[in-house]
Structure 1
Amino acid sequence: MRKFLVLLDDSHESLNAMRFAAMRAANSDGRVVILSVIPADDIQHGFGVADVMRAEAHQRIEAHFDVFAKWMRTRPKVEPELIVREGDPAEELIALIGEDPQIGVVVLGLNADKSGPNPVLNRVLREASGLSCPITIVPGDISRERLEAIT
């Protein structure tokens, strides 16, 4: 079974990437794996603070995931899988691709407002020749109707 890997963050382009991955998975009998990475810099260490911050980050991620998972289960009828890691988002994404041979496509959103470089996308593109799967880049400002038409 082919898995579509998407990186979950708070951006609008992440939303479109997840929509695209879910619709493609539904149309190809695949699955969606959603990776969310807690940046190591976001966790302050000492006096039990790290555990509290880590738990809060997990709760925030799971609440965010639940919204998308509910839509995926009802609309395209895809059961998503959530993976939460700590570290650098690009490194964790690349590591997961290497660990799971069923990942068939990485789906990343492209920032629509061009406010700055996307470090994850830049890193993945630099290492694209060494990846075991293709990368699909979904424009952040593409409409839902257009996504449905192309999937």
Structure 2
Amino acid sequence: MNDETLSPGRRNKFLVVVDETPECKSAIHFACRRAWHVGGGVILLYVIEPPDFQHWMGVEQVMREEAREAAEELLQSLADDIRRDTNIVPEFVIRDGYKKDELLALIEEDPDIRILVLAASPDSGGPGPLVKSLVGEMSGTFAVPITVIPGNLSDKQLDAVT
């Protein structure tokens, strides 16, 4: 895609789903380096999934507020690292729901999202449920290209491929 296909003020965005897994940092590093190289942007999506069981209304509300605060702290910490390394100021999106559903909704809502970057778990248990679902079940019908980064690559190796 070239710049002529974008309206003025729009730019290609790399979307990363953020969680607490170690491989998530590989996806963020890759997306930020690619965005830096092409003059694009980065969106960090954090999804607060509903609890497996229902609590009393007050307890559930407190849990949601704590989860949102933790998500904001994590995203701010990641943004500080990203700005220091690339001068990119990432966008944050925090949503309540299920990762796959919220990811699909965000891609549909933001036409500037051009690439989804995920990282596969380096464990022998497989790449992870989100990667399996999106790359396997939906790969032929997904709205944007998906880049899956091996979760065991070092920053130096990621820099070499970006």
Band the TM-score falls in, shorter-chain normalisation: over 0.9
- Tell me whether 1:56 sits opposite 2:81 in the alignment: no
CA distance in 2, matches of 1:67, 1:139: 23
- Going from structure 1 to structure 2, the CA distance change for 1:105 and 1:54 (only over 3 Å counts) comes to same
- Going from structure 1 to structure 2, the CA distance change for 1:147 and 1:91 (only over 3 Å counts) comes to same
Q: How do 1:76-87 and structure 2 match up within 5 A?
A: 76-87=86-97
CA distance in 2, matches of 1:36, 1:12: 15
Q: Alpha-carbon deviations, 1:4-48, whole Å to 9, x = none? A: 000000111111000101111111111110111111126844331
1:10 maps to amino acid:
E
1:124 to 127, 134, 138: 134
CA distance in 2, matches of 1:39, 1:47: 16
CA distance in 1, matches of 2:80, 2:159: 18
Q: Aligned residue for 1:150?
A: 161
Q: Aligned residue for 1:69?
A: 79
Size of the aligned set, in residue pairs, is 151
- Going from structure 1 to structure 2, the CA distance change for 1:43 and 1:60 (only over 3 Å counts) comes to farther
1:114 maps to amino acid:
S
Q: Aligned residue for 1:140?
A: 151
- Tell me whether 1:110 sits opposite 2:126 in the alignment: no
Please report the TM-score for the alignment, with normalisation by the length of structure 2: 0.87
Q: Is the 8 A contact 1:4 1:106 kept in 2?
A: yes
Gaps of 5+ in 2: 1-10
Gaps of 5+ in 1: none
CA distance in 2, matches of 1:135, 1:47: 38
Q: Secondary structure at the match of 1:82?
A: strand
Q: Aligned residue for 1:16?
A: 26
Q: Is the 8 A contact 1:44 1:53 kept in 2?
A: no
Please report the TM-score for the alignment, with normalisation by the length of structure 1: 0.93
Q: Secondary structure at the match of 1:108?
A: strand
Give the share of equivalent positions with the same residue, in percent: 38
CA distance in 1, matches of 2:144, 2:12: 10
1:39 to 22, 27, 49: 49
Aligned-residue CA RMSD in angstroms?
1.5
